[in-house]
Amino acid sequence: MNDNKKAMRKLKLHVEISIDGCIAGPNNEMDWIDFSWNEKLREFEDRLHDPVDTILLGRKMTNEFISYWSNVINKPEDREYTFAKKMIETSKIVFTKSLTKSEWPNTEIATGDLKEEITKLKSQEGGDIIVYGGASFDSSLIRENLIDEYYLFINPVVIGNGKTIFGDLKEIRKLSLIESITFDSGIVLLHYEVKRN
């Protein structure tokens, strides 16, 4: 690679997903997700997050995301405490049309055009960027072909009726499988990279 050409930051999608492709129930139910993580899964999460310095969130998911990790960080004895610190301390950007300033610590608001904002963000200096959703925000990023890597944590459950993130696509998207890992809980991690022309 030309030394004068700066590498773009990668945008990674982290998502818990059912076998039939749902990331939430019809009313945003997430009680089907297996959070009984063992040491191997926690170690993988740490490895995934290590190069990340920015978290992207859609407005609808932000309250739930930040309140959950803020609660854990108040419990040093909790097995998720170390990871919770990372979630709280990592810079976050919330994409919203309804807010003009952040209600949360260590969080910025983005209100501009999604593709322009993300493209600009990816061209800046920094580490990788990760997105945790929710469904409509993920779908928008996928539709605009902004995701570089997919981390699909496939839970051993079929919902039958729920919210999906690939339904808005109008064309075939080809991905390259980078790795797959099976965890004791039955969760299978599929890590894909998007094939760019």
Mean pLDDT within 163-170? 91
Domain residue ranges in the chain: 11-24+35-194
Residue 5 has a pLDDT of 54
Q: What is the mean pLDDT of residues 162-185?
A: 93
Residue 164: its pLDDT value, please?
93
93/110 Cα distance (integer angstroms):
7
Determine the topology of domain 11-24+35-194 in CATH. Answer: Dihydrofolate Reductase, subunit A (3.40.430)
* Structural element, H or E, at residue 53: strand 52-58
Q: With 50 as the cut, is the pLDDT of residue 143 above it?
A: yes
Residues 6+ apart with CB under 8 A from 62: 92, 94, 104, 107
- Whole-number Å distance between alpha carbons of 65 and 87: 9
121 pLDDT tier (thresholds 50, 70, 90): very high
Kindly list the distances between the CA atom of residue 44 and the CA atoms of 39, 107, 180, 181, in Å, as whole numbers in the listed order.
9, 25, 12, 10
Residue-level pLDDT at 98: 87
Question: Residue 187: which of 16, 13, 1, 7 has the closest Cα?
Answer: 16
- The string of pLDDT tens digits covering residues 44-97 is 988 999 999 999 998 888 888 888 888 999 998 988 888 889 899 999 999 998
Q: Which pLDDT tens digit goes with each residue over 102-114?
A: 888 889 999 999 9
Residues 176-187: tens digit of each pLDDT: 999 999 999 899
| Chain mean pLDDT for the chain | 90
pLDDT value of residue 6: 63
pLDDT band at 146 (very low <50, low <70, confident <90, very high): very high
Q: pTM for the complete prediction?
A: 0.91
Q: Average pLDDT, stretch 162-171?
A: 91
The answer, yes or no, to whether residue 1 has pLDDT greater than 50, is no
